[in-house]
Structure 1
Amino acid sequence: MIDIKHEPPTVETYRRLRKDSGMSEKTIQAAEQGLGNACFDVVIYDDGYGFAMGRVIGDGGTAFQIIDVAVDPKYQGLGYGKMVLTHIMDYIEAVAVPSSYVSLIADYPADKLYKQFGFESTEPNSGGMYIKY
């Protein structure tokens, strides 16, 4: 049975989904410190098995960043990524105010999914940057 919950993923689910979907791995410490601090979380379960997730971080007014959108490879291509993003965008549309800025870093080819929701590349006016510890 498919169940959608607006709650943080467990540390184990979070780390597994990131790794299995090809994203960079996060340490247990990072996951323990970070999970629970998001503005919004969504996890999709199949009989208790968390197979898709997404999170929103930010200050809840001026800035929102969509992060950690991941789907277990066995469930990819079935519309679950779009389902995660629909829940995320419903949340953002409910709380965002004029001048709120919503951003994300899209791994390819996931940019095609985000474009369906109206996201555009910031290039050539700006580019994403990062520091990894």
Structure 2
Amino acid sequence: MADSTPADPYTVREELPDPETFAALREAAGMTPRSLEGIERGLPNSLYGVVAVHTPTDDVVGMGRIVGDGGTVYQISDMAVHPDHQDRGLGTRIMSALEAYIEDETPPQAYVNLLADVDGFYERFGFEETRPASKGMYRRTE
């Protein structure tokens, strides 16, 4: 699934970034860092992933992935676009690819969740806040 047009300098591919690129994209996008050990362990366990590639340079400039159990729970995770390539629709293209996977692969009544750092973006894809019915929580390990 590579999507681009002749005038479009970006392609969205069904693949995961390498661990170093994953870490660099998170950092560039201002996201909380992850250890290289954790990234190396976690990426292969992804259910699905896509990257946005700047075709002229072949640089991975965006990413998103889905983690979960493959049956009842799916989480959209690690959505990031390098700031130098934002405001070009790449986040929407990445999210659309992830949504297509969810639509094609999930059984009925699966729970799809995400933690959002951006207001208004994920709502376009049908996501809504869980409060007051439930609340998101987290804990980090040292």
TM-score by length of structure 1 reads: 0.95
Give me the identity figure in percent: 40
Of 1, 6, 11, the match for 1:3: 11
Unaligned runs of at least 5 residues, structure 2: 1-8
Task: Select 2:72's aligned residue among 62, 66, 81.
Answer: 62
Corresponding position of 2:121: 113
Q: Is 1:78 matched with 2:97?
A: no
Cα distance, 1:3 vs. partner? 2.4
Say which SS state the counterpart of residue 54 (structure 1) adopts. Answer: strand
- Say what the alpha-carbon RMSD is for the aligned residues: 0.9
Using the TM superposition, give the Cα deviation of residue 112 of structure 1 relative to its aligned residue in structure 2, in angstroms.
1.0
1:102 aligns with 2:112: yes
Rg larger in structure = 2
Aligned positions, number: 131
User: Can you give the 5+ residue segments of structure 1 that lack an aligned partner in the other structure?
Assistant: none
Amino acid at match of 2:18: T
Partner of 1:19: 27
Runs of 4+ in 1 over 6 A off after TM superposition: none
Q: Which residue of 2 aligns with 1:52?
A: 62
Taking structure 2 as the reference length, the TM-score comes to: 0.89
Rounded Cα–Cα distance in structure 2 between residues aligned with 1:71 and 1:4: 12
